[in-house]
Structure 1
Amino acid sequence: MNKDISALITFQAATTIEHFEQIIALQNQNLYKSLTAEEQDQQGFVFAEHTVELLQQMASQIPQVIALHQNKVIGYNLAMTAAMEKQLPSLEPMFREFHKSQYQGKVLTAYKFFVGGQVCVDKNFRGLGLLSKLYNATANLVGDDYELCITEIAVRNINSLKVHQKMGFEIAGTHRDEFGDWYVVVWDIRGL
C-alpha cells in the first residue's frame, strides 16, 4: 500500500447503520475462526463478535472510531465503558482481571478507564500506522473523561502485542479463561 494513501484516510466516530455494518464485515474477515493458524500468526486476529445492535449500544456511551477510505470502513477501534461489564458475558473474565491487575501501584479499576479494542485494520491498509491513529482518535474524542485505555490481547497474538507495545501499551497482568491465555495491557492517556 502506497504511504501517500494515508492522506486520504479520515477518522471519525461511527454514526450510521452502514458504518456499523461495515465494522461487522471487517470483523468477520479477521475473526480468529475465519483465519488459518498461519494467517493468525502472520497477520493477527480479532476474537469477540459483535452485532450492529451491540455496536449502537456501545456508541451511545463512548465513540466507536473508524478509519475511512473512499467512504469505506478500513479500520476500527471499538471501545466500551466499565458500565458494560455485565453486558458481554464472554468479557467477564477480562473485567475480573481489571479488579486485580495493577498499574503504577493502583488496581486498574481505581482509575477512570475505558476498554479499548477490539481494534482491526483491513489487511490492504496495514503498515500505515492506523492502529495508533485509531487509538489516538479515540483518546482525543473522550478527552479528559478517562485516564487509561485498558484491553486484553491473546498471548498467542504476538503481532498485536508488538504493535500495542510500540504505541505505548504496557502489560499490567495476565490471566487464563476458557478461550486461552491473555495479557491485560494499559495505555496511559493522561497528558496526550
Structure 2
Amino acid sequence: MEFTFKIASTAQDFEQILELQRQNLYTLISKEDQEKQGFVFAEHTIEILQTMAIELPQIVAMHHGRVVGYNLAMTATMKEVLPSISPMFTAFETCTFNNKPLKNVRYLVGGQVCVDKDFRGHGLLSRLYRETKNQVPTDYEACVTEISLRNLRSLKAHQKMGFQVIGTYHDGIEQWNIVAWDFRGD
C-alpha cells in the first residue's frame, strides 16, 4: 500500500484527524475493541489542533487523499491550554532519561498517535513518529508520551519502535506508563 506523509495544515486535515480520533476514542468503543485494537483518550478540537500546529508539525499519513493515521506533537506550553494534562507533566518531572532528569532533556510530547484499524500492520506508527522527528528542530533529544496501562497494544507497538518505559503514575482516573524514544540513538 502506498502512503504519503505530510504536515496537517488544512481544515480538512484537522477534521479528518478528529474523525479518526472519534472512531478510536475509548468512551465510544467497546471494552473488547479497546483490548484488541487499542484506543485514544484525549478528545481534541480543531482549535486545539491548530494551536498545537503553531509550535510543532502535526503529521498525517494519507492514503488516496484520506487521513489514515496521525501523530500529534506538542510542547510543555500546552499544559497552559489544556489543564487536564497537567498531571502528565508533573509526572514527567519525576522521571529520568539517559541518566539525567527529564526536565533537563529537550523533548517534545507525543500528543497522540492513531492509525485507522483498516491500515494497521503497515508500520505506520513508526513511520509517523519518524516523520515527526524529521520535521522538528534537530535539538530535540527525545519524544515522551504516556500510554494507559490498559492499552497493551499501544505499549507493545511503541516498544517495538524503541520507546522505553521511564516511569508510571496514576492521575486519579487511569494508571499510565511514561515512555520515551531517544532521537539521538535512532
Question: How high is the TM-score relative to the length of structure 2?
Answer: 0.97
> Is the contact between residue 144 and residue 190 of structure 1 (CA under 8 Å) also seen in structure 2?
no
> Structure 2, unaligned stretches of length 5 or more?
none
Tell me which of 16, 21, 31 is aligned to 2:15: 21
Tell me which of 75, 80, 84 is aligned to 2:74: 80
Q: Say which SS state the counterpart of residue 144 (structure 1) adopts.
A: coil
> Is the contact between residue 80 and residue 114 of structure 1 (CA under 8 Å) also seen in structure 2?
yes
Q: Which residue of 2 aligns with 1:180?
A: 174
What does the per-residue CA deviation read over 1:49-73, in whole Å, with 9 as the maximum and x for residues that have no partner?
1000100010010000000011100
Q: Say which SS state the counterpart of residue 159 (structure 1) adopts.
A: helix
The 5 A counterparts of 1:131-146 are 131-146=125-140
What does the per-residue CA deviation read over 1:153-175, in whole Å, with 9 as the maximum and x for residues that have no partner?
00010000000000000001000
RMSD: 0.9
Change (3 A) 1:54 1:184: same
Q: Say which SS state the counterpart of residue 55 (structure 2) adopts.
A: coil
Q: Which residue of 2 aligns with 1:59?
A: 53
Distance 1:189 1:46 in 2: 24
> Structure 1, unaligned stretches of length 5 or more?
none
Q: Which residue of 1 aligns with 2:6?
A: 12
Deviation at 1:143, TM superposition (A): 3.7
Q: Say which SS state the counterpart of residue 81 (structure 2) adopts.
A: coil
* Aligned-pair identity (%): 54
Q: Say which SS state the counterpart of residue 138 (structure 2) adopts.
A: helix
Deviation at 1:191, TM superposition (A): 5.2
Tell me which of 34, 43, 66 is aligned to 1:40: 34
Q: Say which SS state the counterpart of residue 86 (structure 1) adopts.
A: helix
Q: Say which SS state the counterpart of residue 147 (structure 2) adopts.
A: strand
2:88 counterpart of 1:94? yes
Distance 2:104 2:158 in 1: 22
> Is the contact between residue 82 and residue 113 of structure 1 (CA under 8 Å) also seen in structure 2?
no
Q: Which residue of 2 aligns with 1:152?
A: 146
Q: Which residue of 2 aligns with 1:112?
A: 106
Distance 1:151 1:144 in 2: 19
Aligned residues: 186
Q: Say which SS state the counterpart of residue 157 (structure 2) adopts.
A: helix
Q: Say which SS state the counterpart of residue 58 (structure 1) adopts.
A: helix
Question: How high is the TM-score relative to the length of structure 1?
Answer: 0.94
What does the per-residue CA deviation read over 1:12-58, in whole Å, with 9 as the maximum and x for residues that have no partner?
11010000000000000000011100000000000001000100010
Distance 1:17 1:140 in 2: 23
Distance 1:72 1:145 in 2: 32
Distance 2:111 2:6 in 1: 16
